[in-house]
């Protein structure tokens, strides 16, 4: 009986972590459907200030995602703390700064992306369209990648600072791997079929960081998840592009 209670106490945090990672998987799936489907192209209001695709990408999906990120951070911090210094505080500040940049990027991108698609056809070089296109294609992307790196890098390092004391079983590893594979498919969809730029550098950097941390610290849940997501995503992209190029 005592052994059963102890096992339940240990597995409960991982169960919550699996659910929170599944929320991120769902956001990725709905985000793809939202962008690719024609059912979200109608306008939100009579004044046509945004389409539903832009509205969901700017508010609904990011709000769900950042809430799950925050709850995931709280779950990680339930682990056994290794550092008594300022590192946890610095990582939490990094996480908060990343959240702000992440949110600012969506606010900048979705509005200007809508204006770009509706009012600035290819070849339009007016000052207004030049500014809209820069915010859509460049500035908002810089904000997004900065926020994305800070959030995910902070979470991985927090997992090292607050490790799971007991060994992660193969069943939990399988669930973490499954969630990571969905993210890998999302990465492949972006890198495999679109022009590659700063996103490749970001994914490569996070793949190297997660792989190195996994090698140094063992099978910690979030490290497994990120190593699979970014590692497999990069491999799929490389194989596809090499086959297509050939």
Q: What is the pLDDT of residues 177-207, one digit of tens each?
A: 999 999 999 888 888 777 777 888 999 999 9
In angstroms, the Cα distances linking 246 to 194, 200, 237 are: 18, 21, 14
- CB-based contact 117:35 (threshold 8 Å): no
Q: Is the pLDDT of residue 1 over 80?
A: no
Per-residue pLDDT band at 246 (split at 50, 70, 90) = low
- CB-based contact 25:178 (threshold 8 Å): no
Q: Is the pLDDT of residue 174 over 70?
A: yes
- Largest Cα separation within the chain, whole Å, is 74
Q: Is the pLDDT of residue 158 over 70?
A: yes
Instruction: Look at residue 5 in the predicted model and tell me its pLDDT.
Output: 38
Q: Is the pLDDT of residue 41 over 70?
A: yes
User: What whole-number percentage of the chain has pLDDT above 90?
Assistant: 69
The residues, ordered by sequence, that sit 6+ positions from 206 with a Cβ below 8 Å of its Cβ are 149, 152, 153, 226, 230
- CB-based contact 227:211 (threshold 8 Å): yes
Q: Is the pLDDT of residue 227 over 80?
A: yes
Q: Against a cut of 0.85, is the pTM above it?
A: yes
User: What whole-number percentage of the chain has pLDDT above 70?
Assistant: 94
Mean pLDDT across 52-77: 94
Instruction: Look at residue 105 in the predicted model and tell me its pLDDT.
Output: 96
The residues, ordered by sequence, that sit 6+ positions from 19 with a Cβ below 8 Å of its Cβ are none
Q: Is the pLDDT of residue 241 over 90?
A: no
Torsion region of 166: left, alpha or beta (phi above 0 gives left; psi -120 to 50 gives alpha): beta
**Cα angle at 98 between 214 and 203, to 5 degrees?**
45
> 224 in helix, strand or coil?
helix
- CB-based contact 29:182 (threshold 8 Å): yes
In angstroms, the Cα distances linking 125 to 111, 120, 129, 133 are: 19, 9, 6, 10
């Amino acid at each position: 009986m005592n052994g059963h209670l102890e096992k339940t106490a240990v597995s409960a945090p991982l169960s919550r972590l699996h659910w929170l990672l599944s929320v991120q998987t769902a956001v990725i799936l709905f985000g793809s459907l939202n962008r690719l489907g024609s059912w979200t192209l109608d306008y939100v209001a009579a004044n046509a200030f945004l389409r539903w695709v832009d509205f969901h990408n700017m508010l609904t999906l990011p709000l769900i995602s950042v809430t799950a990120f925050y709850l995931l951070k709280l779950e990680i911090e339930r682990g056994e703390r290794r550092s008594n210094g300022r590192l946890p505080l610095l990582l939490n500040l990094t996480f908060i700064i990343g959240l702000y940049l992440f949110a600012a990027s969506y606010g900048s991108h979705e509005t200007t992306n809508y204006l770009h698609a509706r009012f600035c056809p290819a070849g339009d070089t007016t000052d207004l369209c030049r500014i809209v296109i820069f915010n859509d294609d460049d500035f908002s992307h810089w904000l997004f990648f900065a926020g994305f790196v800070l959030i995910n890098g902070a979470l991985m390092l927090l997992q090292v600072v607050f490790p799971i004391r007991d060994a992660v079983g193969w069943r939990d590893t399988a669930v973490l791997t499954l969630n990571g594979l969905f993210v890998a498919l999302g990465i492949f969809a972006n890198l495999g079929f679109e022009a590659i730029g700063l996103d490749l550098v970001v994914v490569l950097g996070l793949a190297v960081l997660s792989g190195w941390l996994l090698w140094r610290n063992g099978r910690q849940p979030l490290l497994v998840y990120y190593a699979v997501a970014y590692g497999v995503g990069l491999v799929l992209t490389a194989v596809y592009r090499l086959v297509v190029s050939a």
